[in-house]
Structure 1
């Protein structure tokens, strides 16, 4: 697996929910308008309310189109391929 595929999405400031859709579209090689609405996966308004005024110690993690998304209270986010970038755990 290439390291570029598993590289963390650079944290971005501004409107994180819009940034999430744009980052996933870039990873999928498509236009953001061609993706299913994020609202079908998570209540974006509830996420915004939850994170409003929070710092980076508060985060919401969810899955969208095969990607693990983490949005933090400071407005930054990361998008990683689902399962591909997490270390395996030996039991």
Structure 2
């Protein structure tokens, strides 16, 4: 299944407290469960929060499912990038 990185503008996300982050994650999980029940293949792996952005990593059958999740959960989407390959320290070992 393709992997995507989603850039989201979320002002102040980097200074959010645990309860706020928990609420956002719970909302995302709720929508993902609904989509799974509808046999839509989408999975959230994790997210990175900076001062005013998040970069979320998802597995999904297609980019349209990313947009659907964003619309249903109320999370913004600035850009979506399909991951073509993963490069890590092991890559340099030949």
- Higher helix proportion, which one? 2
Task: Give the TM-score normalised by the residue count of structure 2.
Answer: 0.33
TM-score (norm 1): 0.33
Higher percent of residues as strand: 2
Which is greater in Rg?
Answer: 2
Kindly indicate whether structure 1 or structure 2 has the higher relative contact order, using CA contacts under 8 Å at least 6 residues apart.
2
